[in-house]
A = this chain, B = another copy of it.
Amino acid sequence: MKLLEDRILRDGKVLSGNVLKVDSFLNHQIDVELVDAMGEEFFRLFSGERIDKIITIESSGISVAYSTARCFKVPLVFAKKSRSVNSSDDFYSAPVVSFTRKTSYDLTLSREYISKGERILLIDDFLATGSALIALRDICLTAGADIVGAGIAIEKSYQSGGKTLRDSGLRIESLAMISAMSENGEIKFC
B interface footprint on A69-102 (CB within 8 Å = 1, 0 otherwise) = 1100111111010001111100000000010111
In contact, A75 and B29 (Cβ under 8 angstroms) = yes
Pick from A35, A58, A75, A86 the residue with the most CB of B within 10 Å: A86
Q: Which residues of B contact A157 (CB under 8 A)?
A: none
User: For residue A101, which residues in chain B have a CB less than 8 angstroms away from its CB?
Assistant: 84-85
Q: How many residues of A contact B (CB 8 A)?
A: 42
A66-B63, A75-B32 as given contacts; A19 in contact with B86, CB under 8 Å: yes
Which of B29, B66, B88 meets A77, CB within 8 Å? B29
A149 CB to nearest chain B CB (Å): 19
- Give complex CA distance A110, B30 in Å: 13
Interface: A169 (CB within 8 A):
no
Give complex CA distance A87, B100 in Å.
Answer: 10
Name the segment of A20-28, A128-136, A179-187 touching the other chain.
A20-28
Contacts A101-B84, A101-B85 given: A31-B75 contact, CB under 8 Å?
A: yes
What CA separation (Å) do A134 and B36 show in the bound complex? 30
Query: What residue of chain B has the Cβ atom nearest to residue A81's Cβ?
Result: B59
B-contact 0/1 string along A88-126, CB 8 Å cutoff: 100000000010111000000110110000000000000
Closest B residue by C-beta to A72 = B32
A69–B34 Cα distance when bound, in Å, is: 12
